[in-house]
């Protein structure tokens, strides 16, 4: 590899260490701050070039494979590694923020499907059934944890029932949940990268998130998926449910963009915005309300001037 930027090797070492630390936080602590695992590779790719980002992803993968289990290495590559490599490519070719995210998620999903198909054919297993077994195992483990934590009698039975219903729902919707997770990872990292845009040798034409708008025709798949849930077919309703979740997530983003637009327009104080984001993270009904705002933005056109395309 040729690294034109002086000190690139030191950046690769720093980026690899930070990547491994953030992924360790993801495994041990959960989503935050591990969701920013791709950030070091993204940053040094945009600063020094593609070779630096590829080296960081490669070193991190080798260390994980040598130190921890192979499944965790695969988890890193699927959730974070591919995004680390692909997202800066689209960003630097002028695709804009929204399209870069969409293309990154599409590439990630395509690779994930290819890997799943290859694994299923080579091992002679049904990947979908394997995923359901993992979900059932996780639910069983959580039930055991609550039993050991002192839950007894009706209280424990109620908790187990909730876990069972939640596991069944996850088993039906995990494709959409994976897609949404990949989009969230890429989007949050892109928002942070935008803060450092002035440090990079080339400008990043990411656009403004508050002007994000979905294609108007997207409302029709939403309507079709909603009516498809009424059909008496498990396969059709499962597909419709996943489509519905994915599209509602896109309208949630549009609603969030509308709200951010008004935050900027009326100079809403930072602490008020912080309260809103905390409530948004804790209250699912608020997230649904934001998605509804995004849907009605199609007809209400709450932002002016009207932007017909994503930036």
Separation of alpha carbons 51 and 23, rounded Å: 21
Q: Determine contact, residues 87/100, Cβ cutoff 8 Å.
A: yes
Separation of alpha carbons 251 and 297, rounded Å: 9
Q: Determine contact, residues 81/23, Cβ cutoff 8 Å.
A: no
pLDDT for the residue numbered 1 = 47
Separation of alpha carbons 178 and 170, rounded Å: 10
Reported confidence tier of residue 217, pLDDT bands at 50, 70, 90? very high
Answer whether residue 143 shows pLDDT above 60.
Answer: yes
| Spans of all domains in the chain | 1-129+174-207, 208-311
Reported confidence tier of residue 282, pLDDT bands at 50, 70, 90? confident
Residues 6+ apart with CB under 8 A from 197: 203, 204, 206
Peptide bond into 252 cis (omega under 30): no
Answer whether residue 311 shows pLDDT above 50.
Answer: no
Smallest Cα–Cα separation from 104: which of 122, 67, 128, 78?
78
Reported confidence tier of residue 184, pLDDT bands at 50, 70, 90? very high
pLDDT for the residue numbered 150 = 74
Answer whether residue 276 shows pLDDT above 90.
Answer: yes
Is CATH 1.10.1760 what the domain over 1-129+174-207 is classified as, yes or no? yes
Answer whether residue 296 shows pLDDT above 70.
Answer: yes
pLDDT for the residue numbered 31 = 72
H or E stretch covering 81: none
Answer whether residue 50 shows pLDDT above 70.
Answer: yes
| pLDDT, mean of residues 36-54 | 93
pLDDT for the residue numbered 6 = 56
Separation of alpha carbons 267 and 74, rounded Å: 44
| Summary mean pLDDT of the chain | 88
């Amino acid at each position: 590899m040729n690294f034109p930027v002086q000190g690139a090797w030191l950046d690769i070492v720093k980026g690899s260490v930070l990547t491994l630390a953030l992924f360790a936080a993801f495994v041990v602590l959960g989503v935050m701050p591990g969701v920013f695992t791709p950030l070091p590779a993204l940053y040094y790719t945009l600063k020094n070039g593609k070779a630096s980002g590829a080296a960081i992803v490669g070193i991190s993968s080798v260390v994980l494979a040598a130190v921890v289990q192979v499944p965790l290495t695969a988890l890193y590559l699927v959730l974070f590694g591919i995004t680390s490599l692909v997202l800066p490519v689209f960003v630097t070719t002028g695709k804009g923020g929204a399209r870069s995210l969409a293309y990154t998620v599409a590439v990630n999903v395509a690779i994930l499907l290819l890997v799943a198909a290859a694994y299923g054919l080579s091992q002679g297993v049904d990947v979908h059934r394997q995923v359901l077994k993992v979900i059932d195992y996780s639910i069983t483990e959580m039930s055991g944890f609550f039993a050991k934590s002192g839950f007894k009698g009706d209280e424990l039975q109620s908790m187990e029932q909730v876990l069972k219903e939640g596991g069944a729902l996850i088993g039906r919707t995990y494709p959409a949940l994976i897609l949404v997770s990949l989009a969230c990872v890429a989007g949050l990292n892109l928002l942070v990268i935008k803060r450092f845009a002035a440090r990079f040798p080339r400008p990043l034409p990411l656009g403004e998130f508050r002007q994000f708008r979905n294609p108007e025709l997207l409302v029709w798949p939403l309507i079709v998926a909603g009516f498809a849930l009424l059909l008496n077919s498990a396969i059709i309703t499962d597909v419709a449910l996943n489509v519905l979740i994915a599209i509602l997530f896109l309208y949630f983003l549009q609603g969030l963009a509308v709200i951010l637009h008004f935050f900027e327009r009326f100079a809403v104080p930072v602490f008020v915005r912080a309260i809103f984001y905390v409530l948004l993270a804790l209250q699912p009904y608020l997230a649904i309300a934001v998605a509804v705002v995004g849907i009605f933005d199609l007809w209400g056109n709450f932002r002016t001037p009207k932007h017909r395309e994503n930036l």
